[in-house]
Amino acid sequence: MEFLKKYGLAILSCWIAFVFVQSLFFKFSNSLETQYIFGTLGAWSGFTWFAAYGAYAIGSLELVAAVGLFTRWRPFAALLALGIISGAIVFHLFTPLGVVMPSFDSAGNVSGDDGGTLFVMACLVWASALVIVWRELLGPNGRLHIAFSSQQD
């Protein structure tokens, strides 16, 4: 238990950064999976620009959050991660995107699906970011609680 108290937030930060950074290859290389996800959302929302540029915008924000998790700004980076991943979860649940994403072969044909892995990873990132935000920003020992408690003295 002492191990988790000492390293728990660092482990959660590593998990979030791992998920965000490993997805950058797909977002920045315009992979077929990225084209499917952002194309579906662009068509659904009517924002055609989102199909072309959304992956770059979201990927850039994920990179900022991933780097920020290893600085003194970790609570705010986790808050950014929580916002990004909340959007992803909402889009998976309440748009035509769905929870299960198709997989593509090298010819660009659908060759199966991910079985919901991307969605599960998003949910785990959401929970991890929430823990960091609570512990370091909002909770009894969080920065905001301490800041507002000291002003009342």
- Contact predicate 51/102, CB 8 Å: no
* Three-point CA angle 67, 86, 104, nearest 5°: 85
- Contact predicate 32/151, CB 8 Å: no
Query: Where is pLDDT greater, at 13 or 139?
Result: 13
- Residue 138, pLDDT > 90, answer no
Lowest mean pLDDT among 104-108, 132-136, 138-142: 138-142
Query: Where is pLDDT greater, at 152 or 2?
Result: 2
- Residue 153, pLDDT > 60, answer no
pTM for this predicted structure: 0.89
Domain definitions of the chain by residue range: 2-151
Query: Where is pLDDT greater, at 27 or 147?
Result: 27
Average pLDDT in the chain: 92
pLDDT tier, 5 (very low <50, low <70, confident <90, very high otherwise): confident
With a pLDDT cut of 70, the percent of the chain lying above it is 92
- Residue 66 CB neighbours (<10 A): 23
- Residue range 97-112: mean pLDDT, rounded: 92
Quick: pLDDT tens for 19-55: 999 999 999 999 999 999 999 999 999 999 999 999 9
For tokens 């994403």, the residue is 101
* 143-152 contacts at long range (C-beta below 8 A, 24 or more positions apart): 143/75
Q: Can you read off the two tokens belonging to residue 95?
A: 């748009």
